[in-house]
Each structure stands twice: as C-alpha cells, then as structure tokens.
Structure 1
Amino acid sequence: MYLASDLRKGLKFEIDGDPYVIVGFEFKKPGKGQSLYKCKLKNMITGVLFERTYRSGEKFKRADLEEQEMEYLYSDKDNCYFMNTSNYEQHPLTKDQLGDAIDLLKDNTICIVLLHNGLPIGITLPNFVNLEVVQSEPWAKGDTATGSTKPAVLETGLEIQVPPFIDQGQMVKIDTRTREYVERVNE
C-alpha cells in the first residue's frame, strides 16, 4: 500500500481495479489542516486523463503491473501480436494501445510489454531501432549546407527528416524517444 505522502510523478497505483500513473503532481500545505496532494492521473488502459486531490493519510493499492520482454511478430487489421521470449505465449495488443509506437515497430523487434493482471496494456520500445529508407529524394551534389535535411519514408511508413546523403535502400538508426534520425547504419 502507498500513503498519500508517497505520491509523486510517475507512480503507478490502482483505483477501482484499473492501473493509473501520475503524470502531474502538486503538493500544497495550507496554513491550517491537512496537506493536499493534487494529482493529474492517466488511466493506463484507456488513456483517459483527470485530476484528483488527495489528503494526507489516504492509502492507495499498489498496481499489479509486470514487465515482460517480448518479441513483435506481426499485425493484422486490428491487433499487433507479441511473443513472450521465455514461454512462447502470444499476446495481442490493439493498435490503439500501441499509439505512436506502431510507426517504429518492425518484425522481430524485442520490446518490454507492460502487463496488468496478466493482460498486456502497453509497450516500451528499445531506445534505438534500425529501419530501412524506402523512399527518399536523390541527393543534389553540392548541396552541403550545414544542417540541411530532406524527408524520407521508412519501411514502417514513418516519415522523418534525414541528412541529404541518405539514399533509398540504406539503413538508419532512429531514436524511439524523439523519433529522429541518429546515424546511418553500415551493414
């Protein structure tokens, strides 16, 4: 169990059987009375945001969350399928649960899947992924302005900005946290 004094940004706890994460936090100590903890909460299953204020002394149930290393296998119309690398069980996640992460997923990518009561609710991508450029304008020789970039479409459909020397068919390293080009990958 957590106490109100344990509340802070990033803490995960359970309300009415659903896991929530604190995405915003403010502590207030009025001149008289109990301390107040104003929290902006996000439902980890539905993504709904709301604010709630708690008083010191309140208790919260720890969320039953578990992280498992899983491999991305494939997707169909509605779901993406991940395989637990230790017991080979497959778990589907909806494309809504994945959100923007779907633009960086390629077959056989190892991810961390967050489970609540044994059911998958979200993923954490590796910090970097290597993806192939499938569409890019050719480089105009002599176009060497510092910091110049051009659009490129990756094998997952994501469009990013890359340096002008990156051509179609090359592999590039992408930072999954910023969704930006890091470097060219030589295979």
Structure 2
Amino acid sequence: MVSTSDFRKGLKIEHEGEPYLIVDFVHYKPGKGGAFVRATVKNLINGKTVEITWRSGEKVKRPDLEEKEFQYLYREGDAFNFMDNGTYEQVTINQDQLGLAGDYMKENAVYRLMSFNGKVISVEPPMFMELEIIETEPGIRGDTVTGGSKPAILETGKRVMVPLFVNQGEVIRVDTRTADYLERV
C-alpha cells in the first residue's frame, strides 16, 4: 500500500483492479474541507489517460506487476513468440498487445515484457537497436552530415528519417523511444 502523500510521477498504482502509471499529480488544500490529491493516470492495459481524485493520506494498492526480459523468437501470423532465456518458457503475444514495440520486432533481440497478474500487458523494445536499411534513395556525391535528411525503411518495416549520406544496405543505430537516427554501425 502507498499513501497519496507518497505519490510521484512514474509511480505505478492499482485502482479498481487495473494498473495505472501516475503521469502528473497535484495536492490541493482548499480553504474549506479536507485536502485532496488529483492525479492524471495512464491505464497500463489500454493506454487511456484519466483523472482520479483521492482524499489526502488515503492508501492505494500497488499493482502485482512483473517485468522480465524475453528473447523474440519468431512471428506466426498475428502471434509473436518470445522465450525466457532463464527458464526457456515461451510466451505468445498478439500483435495488438505489442503497441509501439511492433515497429521494432527483430528476431533474437531481447525485449522487456510487463505482466499484470500473470498476463502480459506491454512489450518494451531495447532503448537502442541496430537495424539494416532495406529501402532509401541513393546518396549523392557532395551530401554532407549537416545537409538534411531523407526517408528510409528499416528491416522491421519502420520508416525513419536518415541523413542524406546513408545508403541502402547499411546498418544504423536507432533510438526506439523517438525513432531518431543516431549513427551508422
């Protein structure tokens, strides 16, 4: 249990049987009546953001969340198969459960899976990934690092902007949080 006076951004709580992430919160002390806390929270299962109000000092449950690293094995239709490298246990996840990680699914890469009460609710890709460019316009002589950017399609199907000097077939490092090009590998 956690008290509303211990709320902070990024804290995970349980409300009405579902896990939430605190995005923002404010303590109010009106002239009349008791103090209260109003928090903007994001549902970790469906991604919806709502505002919830509690009396100051009220206790809130912590969710039964478990985060583990799993290796992505292969895709079978709309199902993605992962394996725990420690126990060799395999987990199958639907495409709609992947969220933004679906743009970065590369075989044998390690992903962080979050489960709530034994059910996987989110997949998080590594922060930086090395991916091959499968399609982009060819670089032209004279293109420089500061010259601009062009669209490129990565091996996972994700479309990113890369500098003009980067060519098809090259491997680049991408920040998966922002989909930004970082460097050639």
- Quick one: which amino acid aligns to residue 163 of structure 2? P
Could you state the TM-score of these two structures normalised by the residue count of structure 2? 0.93
Bigger drift between 26-35 and 61-70 goes to 26-35
The answer for the alignment partner of 2:108 in structure 1 is 108
Match of 1:62, SS? coil
Residue by residue over 1:74-99, the C-alpha shift from the partner in whole angstroms, topping out at 9 and shown as x without a partner, is 22333322111111111122222221
* Percent sequence identity over aligned pairs: 48
Q: CA RMSD in A?
A: 1.6
Shift of 1:122: 0.7
Separation in 1, partners of 2:83, 2:102:
16
The answer to whether 1:179 aligns with 2:168 is no
Separation in 1, partners of 2:70, 2:161:
29
Structure 1, unmatched stretches of 5+, are none
Match of 1:114, SS? strand
Matches within 5 A, 1:18-97: 18-97=18-97
Q: Which runs of 4+ in 1 moved over 4 A?
A: none
Bigger drift between 137-146 and 37-46 goes to 137-146
The answer for the alignment partner of 1:154 in structure 2 is 154
Residue by residue over 1:33-91, the C-alpha shift from the partner in whole angstroms, topping out at 9 and shown as x without a partner, is 32221111222112222111111131111110111111111223333221111111111
Separation in 2, partners of 1:170, 1:145:
16
Shift of 1:145: 7.3
Separation in 2, partners of 1:133, 1:109:
17
Residue by residue over 1:99-152, the C-alpha shift from the partner in whole angstroms, topping out at 9 and shown as x without a partner, is 121111211111111111122111222111000000010112123372411111
Separation in 1, partners of 2:145, 2:22:
44
The answer to whether the Cα contact below 8 Å between 1:136 and 1:153 also exists between their aligned partners in 2 is yes
Aligned length: 185
Structure 2, unmatched stretches of 5+, are none
